[in-house]
Amino acid sequence: MSTSQRTAPGTAGRPDGPGGATGGPGGVGGLVSRLQVDRRLGRMAVLLVVAFSFFAVLDPRVFLSPINLQNIMVASPEIGVLAVAMMLAMLTGGIDLSLVAIANLSAISMSMAFSALAASDPALAEQSAPLLVLLGASVGLLCGAVNGVLVSRVGITPILATLGSMQVFNGLAIVWTGGSVLYGSPAVLTAVGQSTVAGVPVLFLVFLLVAAAVAVVVNRTPVGLKIQLQGANPVAARYSGVDSRSVLTRTYLLTGLLGGIAGVLFLTRNPTASADYGASYVLLVIVIAVLGGTNPNGGFATVAGVVLATLTLQIVASGFTAIRLSSYEYAIAQGVILVAVMVSDTVRWRGRRRGRPPRTDADSATEAAVVT
């Protein structure tokens, strides 16, 4: 991928570009970016605590009830897994608008397969739960492969490629279901979705497990390092021998797989599937990823930040319900939080650089000199 392809003009360069300064996670630049990420993580943890205590104080009877706390944990996983996937796409400097469509397509395939099986042999259909989960994941992987080919082989910008594939996946789901809501999934899945271990819903544990797995991939494997390099500075990455095609293909395969897993979670939480489920998640998931410290221009993100951001927004959502504010007011809150956090990021960086004029290449050169 060439620079011109991923640098969207008008967004005027990323405010914090450690990749531009030194490149690579090692060295002083790496340390600076590390601190930056840690601070965002710290801020997110503070926000989480603040949001929680705010609503806990405001309406402790409703908000602190075990049912409400469990609801927060049951509602988080499906959004959280999608947000982690969005984070991965953003880590390479891309975006995946098709995630929710993929998740729905995966849930629909599972429900369709179950109903088809149940029509001929109900007992067999009930036993097929593991196979159905596998089916859901493979549908996600397949959709991810489509995105991967479009982005890395054909060379379409991720935002357009996934915009198109979102329409296609969503359209196929509409055609397939005829626009109606499907009912039906193995009782085992629903049972798993409702069970808890020591008071913690199994779904939430699955979410933590998935997040941990992605964190390991990003931070501890060569592929993860390449994904970070590719996002931080694609030119530097190419000169360091990173094959951007294979990195991008793998990234979108992974986001597709996570979308498929989110679809499994959809169906596990609630045995229905439809083409237009979670339409508002596309926005929400980007909001969560950015709040969690993901740099939308690529290179920097933490899974822990995204998990914290997911919980924070779920707490705000359930807190709003507890104090009887509408979902529209929640939409306002989402937007305000997103813009406020992004503005505060820029303002802090500007203060550091003592209100410098619009960013120039000369500036980054001096920065590099200062940093090293």
Partner 1 sequence: MSRFRGANNEGVLVLVLVVLVIGMSLANPAFFSVSTLFAVLRSSIVPLVLALGVLIVIISGGIDVSFAAIAVFAAYSTVLLTATDPLGLGIVGAVLCALAIGALLGLVNGVVISRFRLPTLIVTLGTQGIFRGVLLTYVGAAYVANLPGPLAALSTVDIVETTVGGRRVSLTAMVVAPVLLCLLVAWVLRRTMFGRAVYAIGGDPEAARRAGFRVARTQMVVYVVVGMMAAAGGLIFMIMGRSASPQDLVGGELDIIAAVVLGGASIFGGRGSVLGTALGVLLVQVINNSLILAGVPSAWQRTAVGLLLIVGVGVQALAARRSATTVHAHDEEGVPA
Compute φ and ψ for 200, nearest 5 degrees: -100, 125
| Sites for partner 1 among residues 11-40 (CB under 8 A) | 11-13, 15
- Grouping H, G, I as helix, E, B as strand and the rest as coil, residue 220 is helix
Using CB under 8 A as the binding rule, the residues of this chain from 143 to 162 that contact partner 1 are 150, 154-157, 159-161
Q: State yes or no: residue 365 binds partner 1 (CB under 8 A).
A: no
Helix boundaries (H) for the chain = 3-6, 18-21, 27-58, 60-63, 66-91, 99-120, 122-127, 129-148, 158-177, 187-194, 202-220, 222-232, 234-239, 244-269, 281-291, 303-322, 327-352, 361-371
Q: Distance between CA 350 and CA 344 in Å, rounded?
A: 10
Q: How far apart are CA 216 and CA 212, in angstroms?
A: 6
**Candidate list 127, 332, 356, 366; residue touching partner 1; CB under 8 A:** 332
CB of 268 or CB of 297, closer to partner 1 = 297
- Cβ of residue 147: shortest distance to partner 1, in angstroms? 10
Contact status, residue 135 vs residue 273, Cβ threshold 8 Å: no
Q: Applying CB under 8 A, which of residues 4, 67, 180, 354 lies at the interface with partner 1?
A: 4
Which of the residues 88 through 107 are near partner 1 (CB under 8 A)? 95, 97
201 strand-pairing partners: 196
Q: How far is the CB of 281 from partner 1 (least distance, A)?
A: 12
Does residue 10 interact with partner 1 by CB under 8 A? yes
340: Cα separation from own chain's centroid: 20
Q: Does 178 bind partner 1 (CB under 8 A)?
A: yes
Exactly one of 119, 124, 339, 365 binds partner 1 (CB under 8 A); that residue is 339
Binding of partner 1 by 194 (CB under 8 A)? no
Applying CB under 8 A, does 286 fall inside the site for partner 1? yes
For partner 1, give the closer residue by CB, 37 or 286.
286
Q: Which range touches partner 1 (CB under 8 A), out of 64-72, 107-115, 122-130, 328-336?
A: 328-336
DSSP three-state, residue 93: coil
Mark residues 287-326: x for contact with partner 1 by CB under 8 A, - for none.
Answer: x--x-----xx----------------------------x
CA 167/CA 173 separation, integer angstroms? 10
Per DSSP bridges, beta strands 272-273 and 200-201 are: unpaired
243 with 162: CB under 8 angstroms? no
User: Collapsing DSSP states into helix, strand and coil, what is residue 46?
Assistant: helix
Residues of this chain that bind partner 1 (CB under 8 A): 2, 4-5, 7-13, 15, 95, 97, 150, 154-157, 159-161, 163-172, 174-175, 178-179, 279, 283, 286-287, 290, 296-297, 326, 328-336, 338-339, 342-343, 346-347, 358-361
